[in-house]
A and B are shown apart, each in its own frame.
Chain A
């Protein structure tokens, strides 16, 4: 096994830039690792070895021409919910089987322009609906820390690819925690940027007002470098914010929390939070305090309504967003025998093409938007959303960032919660308020509980994404001293599994 795969993105970029290794070697090393371990992990739905090597050669040429990109030649795993021209994009669903998008997502364009090498597309809960990647139509992804356990979801594939050293960088998307919860349970770093901070153009929509693509890596600095590349205003996305991207790389490097006020969200603790999770969280707070931050308790009383509001808003938007999958223009088509009507073909295709969780949410959303129910459901949920946003803005009058455990528990076993949607939904109780308010948030590893990773969540005001990196960078520096490097270095060796 090449030691290149154990290196982080920043280090690889430096090695490539100096000419010590080529992007081609680095890319090949990761393709080899995918070949070796992905049978056990199932992080990838599609590996584009040929395309990746071709991009690597371009990156090597760009180096010769003096590329200024901070991640030139570094490989990356792309969540299968973003379009990449000519590369199959399924969103983990049967209904999109065989579809090759005719265009690149803006995030993909930015990656290509920066010389980042896209290895392939990663597994996910179907249309990003889930917290375990068990809802993928192409089989679950397994957690590299324990292959009997889930890697989180919906972006389990991206997180597992990082933890299994199949890629040093990954792109995820986060609608209610789909970047942060997988990061937490795989011992990796994931950031949900401010809503509008990263273009959604080419991100296949689950819930348009909540979806946000973001960077994932094994260290805070690597995450910042990727964040800087994919962020920024996009005229193709009307909800994209037209303002300068906060300097997240400088923030990650400064990693200075002296004098910062850090608020602990009272509502995101207590019952339901495992002891190991609570302990690692408390230890992290102690570290931040020792670094000169002031820790205060903050109450966000409306957070208790967040889960309910989320499960009205997200399915409502999904019921409309997913209407386009109708067998008429692309993807799966079932029952088209020449005798059946268009409606019948649509209905049969959707029956076969969508999994049960997707159907559950489409039905829920259709109901919530129906005449006579709209005000009680969708309307009330929007009011809750406003209240939660107010909770955040009041809190930020007192503190610079908020913190909580990312998830109440460590990774659970595959199949453990698949029959209990509510138990599954509760996994995201700490991450969902962030999406409802559109603020920025990071999960980074805080240590292990009984051998499994625990995540620490930082939440910053909108367009203050740099604060995530200051706090995360500071905490990480101290923890890396304890662990002698990134937590993922302690993950079991997967070779031979």
Chain B
């Protein structure tokens, strides 16, 4: 039998465990490879910690994640990192002392002048917490007291591909498991009819430069591939190959599965490979998914109030708004990690047009999701994360022309927000200098963010490891500090 084919609950002496399988929680067999298919109904019913073995390392504050990834890198200068003092300095050179030795991309490194481009958008204090949000986020403004805005996230990566890969896998180069895969591996599934890690992707409605995504961003790296994210798409097959071919009815399929089960077990009498039961279980789960997934993806039974809340785009399959409705439905069904990607945040030009257009796509649905989760009692144990892969420069890429301009990549500081399970609400954390260029207070590295998110999920980022190539790998590589200021 292959290393990965074994049912997890078979007891075996820890000593026969291979290094790969010894990975998590010091080697007790029960804690290994917590699969989304082998759980009993009782385990599902009792929730966290029952999905096999030792479960999480500590009491979790959240049991699932909705990660609203804003691909392309939203400008912090125009959304959350208010710098009212800059208005008077339009077109002035950014002081070289501020810019320092900071690396520039090939797109602006040839620039002779770095004129300050204050945000064209108005900022106001919102909620009783008084958080600053720009006018481009009218809906989120109403939820400022639910949000924990972090203005001091930083990264080393300055280009989309490595930066997104770092944000999603903890490493700039390809090959590591994504956050959702780690969670699937570490905590297993909470339900028996759906995958534990689902990915939903939307393209921008406006005309903008949509950076490509890569399957690796939700890939399982060196973890067994059952932990890779399962992409749900709009259209006939929300999950690839979900629907039966033309002319094959559900009854036909049922008949075939019945025969398969009998034949597989019949042959099993000869080879006696216990993995055959796992194969049969997979087919049964596939069959259940053929009804559970379309039911999940079918928004036609949502009341009008849902669409009113999530906005006009939410009726169009494949939009960020529709995906937010789906995210709520997935959370209701206890999918562990729900990863949304919204593309199109790469405003090298046209901040004036691009930011409002991206906000039109994302602001109302994100706000609606928060309210909806809260109303349903899900926000308290769902961790919501909103953010991109880096920030953008306060200076203009190229010249400021007719009051419009673009912004280049900026890894030194950017803003994200968190909400829900275990997150301190109504807080603005971290500070940047007057130019939103350097962090002056409470820096949060990507690894720190990952460590903190894992902590809220009951996992110690130093103990969530997998051994490969002679090393115990972690999502946080060799660093990561808990950011207590973000936690309630």
Co-complex (A, B): no
- What residues of chain B have their CB less than 8 Å away from a CB belonging to chain A? none
- What residues of chain A have their CB less than 8 Å away from a CB belonging to chain B? none
